[in-house]
Structure 1
Amino acid sequence: MNVKLRRINEDDLERIIKWRMDTDITKWMNTDPTLTIKTQKEWLKNIQNSQTVEYWMIVVNNQPAGIINITDIDKIKKESSWGYYIGEKSLRSLQLAMYLEWNLYDYVFDVLKLKRLYNEVLSLNEGVIKLHQLCGSKVEKVIKNHVIKNNIEYDVTIMSIIDTVWKELRSSKKYDFIKFEMER
């Protein structure tokens, strides 16, 4: 499996709209957006100019597969949040998910020099919670009724990993290196 992470560009926006509005993706997300090319162009401009977010297109075997991101980068607290999704169903695999997560840990802790990486998962998404635990993250807390979609309240599980925990775990993990493109 050949995986690369490159910065998102305007040519990706139609594909991202399709993925992000797919019910198979949105059912696990905090929002069900209605996106347009106009709103996506503005979003792209904003993320390209931001110092607190980084987004990449996940490319598997030369095929765009999904999005991975770091958000809420706080250089004072030395922490950030993250998320990802694989929009191309045929490219989803446990191996890809684990490699992405472990490489993201390397990037956040070794390149950005942050100390804590956290994420939110809808609590009903038990498979992803188990995946993050398998990769080294721990459940910090569950916030009841934190997300409301279509008048339904959802609990959210907050998970995190700290740099020292990852440094201890890393030597026990076998995974291919994935390069994060740096230029915006």
Structure 2
Amino acid sequence: MASYSPKSRFSLLSHNELETVLNWRNKPHIRQNMHHQETITWTQHSQWYEALTNDDSRLFFVFYQNDRPIGVLNFSQYPSVPDTFEWGCYIGEDNAWPGSGLLLEIAALQFALEIESANALYAEVLSFNKSVIKLHTLFQYMPLEDGPSFVRDEEEHCVKRFKYKREQWQHNKAIVLNRLPKQICAAARNIEFEV
């Protein structure tokens, strides 16, 4: 792992970043871990952005690392549970800092449960996405009942569901961070959100 700790800034998506985000979203390794893995056209992407800008229940951040865009972090209010946020993320650049996935986990928990004071953070992961499931386990997410099964590439999979309550994060935060490499803990102190 790199010995320095980068600065992580999360800025709301602007029109200037749309092309970059679309290029990331259409990368094969990102599409394969999405519920909908079809290639997205510019027209579809523009319509999605228009809907996003008119929807107060969703927030879409671009993840800047030392002022360089490398990925996204998004939140939406969970349907029928107003005090719960659902979140998703991905790293779009291939040469991001080695601990960037861990920083996304920390940033999601901090934003939803500390900045926004939601009662819970909810996540869905496709069952073959083992690296993200491993991260959620490391951070001590509470597993929920599996979601619906689906078939992809002639194999059956399911949607793994997780929840993190605010009081659980308040109790676990120091414990979880102390288990991580020192560079990650240092970088976690350099996370900021521009809302």
**Alpha-carbon distance between aligned partners in 1 of 2:152 and 2:14, rounded to the nearest angstrom:** 29
How big is each residue's C-alpha offset from its partner over 1:44-80, in whole Å with a ceiling of 9 and x where there is no partner?
Answer: 1211221111000011122210110002346954102
Q: Cα offset for 1:84?
A: 0.2
Is residue 2:140 matched to residue 1:167? no
**Alpha-carbon distance between aligned partners in 1 of 2:85 and 2:15, rounded to the nearest angstrom:** 25
Q: Cα offset for 1:82?
A: 0.3
Corresponding residue of 1:178: 191
The structure 1 residue matched to 2:72, chosen from 64, 67, 70, is 67
Which runs of structure 2 are paired with 1:34-183 in the superposition (5 Å)? 34-73=39-78, 77-91=82-96, 93=98, 95-145=99-149, 147-149=150-152, 153-172=156-175, 173=177, 174=185, 175-182=188-195
How big is each residue's C-alpha offset from its partner over 1:18-69, in whole Å with a ceiling of 9 and x where there is no partner?
Answer: 1111111111111113322222222112112211110000111222101100
Unpaired segments ≥5 residues, structure 1: none
Check conservation: 1:69, 1:84, Cα contact below 8 A: yes
**Alpha-carbon distance between aligned partners in 2 of 1:10 and 1:67, rounded to the nearest angstrom:** 14
Count of residues in correspondence between the two structures:
180
**Alpha-carbon distance between aligned partners in 2 of 1:124 and 1:150, rounded to the nearest angstrom:** 12
Q: Percent of pairs identical after alignment?
A: 23
Query: Alignment partner of 2:88: what SS?
Result: strand
Aligned AA for 2:111?
Y
How big is each residue's C-alpha offset from its partner over 1:107-149, in whole Å with a ceiling of 9 and x where there is no partner?
Answer: 111222211111110111112101111123122122351x455
Corresponding residue of 2:181: none
How big is each residue's C-alpha offset from its partner over 1:87-126, in whole Å with a ceiling of 9 and x where there is no partner?
Answer: 1011153x22222211221211122221111111011111
**Alpha-carbon distance between aligned partners in 2 of 1:58 and 1:109, rounded to the nearest angstrom:** 18
Greater RCO (Cα-Cα under 8 Å, separation 6 or more): 2
Check conservation: 1:82, 1:119, Cα contact below 8 A: yes
Check conservation: 2:86, 2:121, Cα contact below 8 A: yes
**Alpha-carbon distance between aligned partners in 2 of 1:167 and 1:118, rounded to the nearest angstrom:** 16
Unpaired segments ≥5 residues, structure 2: 1-5, 178-184
Query: Alignment partner of 1:97: what SS?
Result: helix
Check conservation: 1:144, 1:156, Cα contact below 8 A: yes
Q: Cα offset for 1:153?
A: 4.3
The structure 1 residue matched to 2:22, chosen from 5, 17, 22, is 17
Q: State the superposition RMSD in angstroms.
A: 2.0
TM-score of the superposed pair, with normalisation by structure 1: 0.88
Query: Alignment partner of 1:102: what SS?
Result: helix
Check conservation: 1:81, 1:118, Cα contact below 8 A: yes
**Alpha-carbon distance between aligned partners in 2 of 1:111 and 1:137, rounded to the nearest angstrom:** 19
Check conservation: 1:86, 1:92, Cα contact below 8 A: no
Q: Cα offset for 1:150?
A: 6.4
